[in-house]
Every structure is written in C-alpha cells, then in structure tokens.
Structure 1
C-alpha cells in the first residue's frame, strides 16, 4: 500500500471514529435533556440555538473564517442547501427533546433505527455508492426487524417517521454540500437565530421565560446546550465527508441502541416480546456489518507470508 492509500485509509479511520463519537453523544442525549424538564420545550430549543451561535461565532472569528461564512450566504446554491439543513436540524432537535420529555424513547429509537436504512438507500441510489453482499444481507435483516416493530405499533409512529425524514435528509444534504464543517453548522444556526431570539424575548416579556431571575447554575446549564449541540455537529460534519454514506448509515444503529437501553432501564418504558424479536433482527444486522470487515482483515493477515528479519 502506497503513501496515498495509507493517507486515505487513515483519514477514513479518523472519520469513522468521529462519527462513532457523535452517535455515542446522541445515543445518551435523553439523559441530558431530562435535566431541563422544567423548561418549556420551545424555549429550550430556542436557547439551544442561541447558545450554539454564541459558541460558534467566536470559533469562526478565531479561525479567520468570517469572510467565508458571509460568502456562503451569497451563493444561491449553497444558501439553499444551508437553509434546508437549518430547517431539518431544527425540527430534529425539537423532536429529540420532545421524545425525552414525554418518555417516548422506544418510539424515538425506532425512528433512529429506520433512519440508516433511508440513508443507505440515498447513498446507493442517489450518490451511486457501492454496496457489498454482506451489507445487502444486513440491510435485509434490519428491514425484517423494522417491519415487525412497525406493524406491532398498531398506529403510525409519528415521532419515528419525523425523525427519519428530518435526519436522513439532513445527512444527505451534508454529504452533497461542499462547505467547511464549522462554517456549515454556523450558517445553519445563524439562520435559525432570529426566530429563537424573538421567541425568547417574547417569553421573557410576558413573564414565562426561564432566563431572567435564573440562578447561576441554571444559567450555565442553558449555556451548555450550545456546546452539547454545536460540538457533535462539527465532529459529524467532519466525519461525514470522509466516510461513505452507506457506511455511516450502518454506524447510525449505535445511537438508537443506547437510546433504547436508556428507555428500558432508566425511564422504565415497556419492552415487549415483539420488541425483543424485532430488535433481535436489527442487532443481528449490526453484528453482520461489524464482524465481516474484522473477519476479512484476520483472513488477510493469516494469508500474508511471515518475513524474518536478520538484525535491526
């Protein structure tokens, strides 16, 4: 393997680690949002946007990207992509907070489990990414599990469907948009900022806000929503550029598994036999995806001749 190939593999590995880290954070996010149960849903979303911008703008200025940020808003095509991303990620944030507030993590995890299927499909049919046989096998296995779970609901799982629609489309736009990750995330939150500010000011003016009169501890908690929101998105934007969309789709199964475990063991949501069967198919799909590359690497290493060196 030459240096160029080594560099490509190294970058992809860093991309994979970045994506896995982000999905770990997103998988346990329900525990974080539960801290804010006393904060009205829309106000929490508004503060999340405001403090994200408050964190990102100094980063933009410090890294000398301000001109590039302004330039992005002047390009019609890029502005359209950013506008779509901002709407989609704003809705996704709202849905995730609502799922945590209302103890609907199992339904939310269903949506998060189906999202990779949509992402993989977009990668294959729209971006013409290659898919291997083991990925087809895993995809089919996951679809069986998802079908069983969806039918078991006996109703339209609205939260799940909206989570699927918002984040799979957001991931697709992030993949096709050639914008610096930090600039992209900043631009998305800046577009949402005026609406967030108006809502917070209105809430405070009618005496229903959570900012004025808040304790120092609660104020720091509100500010922390910016870091919790922006930093994972920056890391995700970095990783998504280095990893195939179809591979990201399979990694996405990690986050809903964490969400599911939190829903069952911490929030004490009901987990039936049907849930167990359907999730069993999904976990089998994940095992196929994770084990195949490891087995191939082991086979390759075992087939390589051992070279004996004389001296140092």
Structure 2
C-alpha cells in the first residue's frame, strides 16, 4: 500500500508540475487577449469552477472556520491580490517574449523563500543555505552587470509568489478552499473591470463564437486542476521529493522558450541561469541532508 501511495504521489506531482510548466502554450493560444483581461477571466472562471469543485470535493468546516475568524478573510484578500499580480506578470511575460525571465523567476523562488524566512520570520540559515542564496544573488548581479538591466520579471515573480506563500501561512485554510475564496474576493474587481471596459476583446459578442472563447472559459479548470493534483501529491510524497519536482515547471518553460518560441539564450542570461542552478543544487543537497537527519531516530543515552 505504501508503494502504491508513493507511486500515486509521484504521478500526481508530475502531473501538477507538468501542467504548470506547459501553461505558456495555453497563454500563447490567448495571445490576442491582453494579459490583464486574461487574468480577469482567470479569476472569474476559477471562482465558478472552484465553487463547483467544492461541492464534489468536500472540505468539512472550512467556511465555518473562516466565518468565525474574519482576520483570515482579510489575509486571503491580501494573498488573492498577490496571486493575481503574479498571474498578471507571468501572462504578460509569456506573451511578450520574456519566458526565459519567467523561468528564471521560478528557479529563484525557493531561494527567495529561504531569504524571506530569514528577514521576516527570524529563521536562521544553515551554511549551505547561505551559499545557495549567495549563488542566486550572484546570478542577479551578473545579469545586471553583463546585460545592463535588472531582471525585474524574474524578481517580481519570485517575490510575489514568495510573499504569497508567506502570507498564506497566516491563514491556515486548505489549499483548494483558500484559492477559491481568494478568487471570490477578486470577483468584485474582475466584474467591475469588465463593466468599465465594454470595448474589451471578450466584451464583443463575436469573440464568443471563436475558439479563443473556449480557451478563456477553460481558465478555471486549467488553474485549479494542477492545484488539486499538487494537494493530493503532497499527502503521499516526502517533502524532499516534492521539493525536487518543483524544478520541472521552470525547466519546461525554459525549453519552450528556447526550442519552440525562439527566445535567445544569450551569454548573460545563460550565466545567470548557471548561477541559479548552482544555488539550487546546493539548496537541494542541504534540504535532502536536513530531511534525512529529521527522519533518523535519535540515539538513546
């Protein structure tokens, strides 16, 4: 049974990160729709699909807990704004030839999480973690030096998602109900945007007779299905294994950027990636060692 659960966990984890890694193909299919409008519809359709999903996949007591703790609703409002910002930057990057920077951002993200823990939570870093963060900082610095510009897309994606995770920890709500409530709280803004922009691409009746209308409406399941897979995988896989799988998504984005969409991997960007990859290797080794130490029984004296 344990082996079957482990296999199921790996398959679900691979599915989640593969879908996330293939998101650029979806957003490229909607390239004629502005990034902000895609995010508006992503919030709308995710709220609708999430409500339907909650009817099937029960999470007993989640609404009562939120109702009795209004502070958690406020936190979910802030985290919803952050995840919407992350979506907007990512969609814009994909549809404006900045996929390599988007990939770099999600490679940096685990190291940004470590740094946020140090700065905001008072966590102490182990020596190898310091080295990993230093490698990431070197990658960003050499990008600034050689390319002459700060990789703001990468940093914005890493920071918005890192702070999002940090804030979500303050509202202990299960992954699916949490994301659904975040999208519900975004609904007034999304509906208000559509009302104030009657000339939007999706506001034209002719648009809903095209294939792109179907892609836009699919934003709900496309957003939530990988989250469901990830949530299920997390119950069956060790933390260290799940940590290694997270590199699948940015790797797929990198490969698509170079092989499918012809983004040039210049020397400056390649050096930045090499620095980040070195940092991730050190980080992964440290995480694996820490996981093994935590799993070892303490010797009795």
TM-score range, shorter chain: 0.7 to 0.9
1:285 is matched with 279
Shift in alpha-carbon separation, 1:67–1:250, aligned structure 2, 3 A: closer
Residue 50 of structure 2 corresponds to residue 62 of structure 1:
no
Tell me how far 1:178 sits from its aligned partner: 1.1
The answer as to whether partners of 2:111 and 2:132 remain within 8 angstroms in 1 is: no
TM-score, with normalisation over the residues of structure 2? 0.77
Tell me how far 1:292 sits from its aligned partner: 7.3
Paired with 1:117 and 1:207, the residues of 2 have a C-alpha distance of: 38
Shift in alpha-carbon separation, 1:19–1:123, aligned structure 2, 3 A: farther
Tell me how far 1:107 sits from its aligned partner: 2.2
Of 79, 86, 104, the residue aligned with 2:80 is: 86
Of 149, 165, 175, the residue aligned with 1:155 is: 149
Of 174, 177, 200, the residue aligned with 1:180 is: 174
Of 235, 260, 267, the residue aligned with 2:261 is: 267
1:256-277 Cα deviation digits (max 9, x unpaired)? 3322222222221222222222
User: Which runs of 5 or more residues in structure 1 are unaligned?
Assistant: 1-5, 298-312
* SS of equivalent residue, structure 2 residue 262: coil
* SS of equivalent residue, structure 2 residue 218: helix
Residue 194 of structure 2 corresponds to residue 191 of structure 1:
no
Aligned length: 287
2:113 is matched with 119
User: Which runs of 5 or more residues in structure 2 are unaligned?
Assistant: 292-301
After TM superposition, the structure 1 stretch with the greater mean CA deviation from structure 2, 39-48 or 17-26, is 17-26
* SS of equivalent residue, structure 1 residue 209: helix
1:52 is matched with 46
2:205 is matched with 212
The answer as to whether partners of 1:119 and 1:245 remain within 8 angstroms in 2 is: no
Paired with 1:156 and 1:81, the residues of 2 have a C-alpha distance of: 30
Paired with 1:189 and 1:221, the residues of 2 have a C-alpha distance of: 19
Shift in alpha-carbon separation, 1:117–1:246, aligned structure 2, 3 A: farther
Paired with 1:206 and 1:251, the residues of 2 have a C-alpha distance of: 42
2:295 is matched with none
Tell me how far 1:209 sits from its aligned partner: 2.9
The answer as to whether partners of 1:55 and 1:226 remain within 8 angstroms in 2 is: yes
Tell me how far 1:125 sits from its aligned partner: 5.6
1:194-222 Cα deviation digits (max 9, x unpaired)? 2212323444x447435633226333212
Paired with 1:101 and 1:71, the residues of 2 have a C-alpha distance of: 39
Structure whose alpha-carbon radius of gyration is higher: 1
Paired with 2:230 and 2:224, the residues of 1 have a C-alpha distance of: 10
After TM superposition, the structure 1 stretch with the greater mean CA deviation from structure 2, 117-126 or 44-53, is 117-126
Of 22, 25, 33, the residue aligned with 1:31 is: 25
In the TM superposition, 1:126-137 aligns within 5 A as 126=120, 134-137=128-131
Tell me how far 1:85 sits from its aligned partner: 1.0
Of 96, 103, 121, the residue aligned with 1:102 is: 96
Shift in alpha-carbon separation, 1:142–1:257, aligned structure 2, 3 A: farther
1:276-301 Cα deviation digits (max 9, x unpaired)? 2232232333444556788999xxxx
Of 139, 152, 170, the residue aligned with 2:164 is: 170
TM-score, with normalisation over the residues of structure 1? 0.75
Tell me how far 1:138 sits from its aligned partner: 3.8
Shift in alpha-carbon separation, 1:216–1:270, aligned structure 2, 3 A: closer
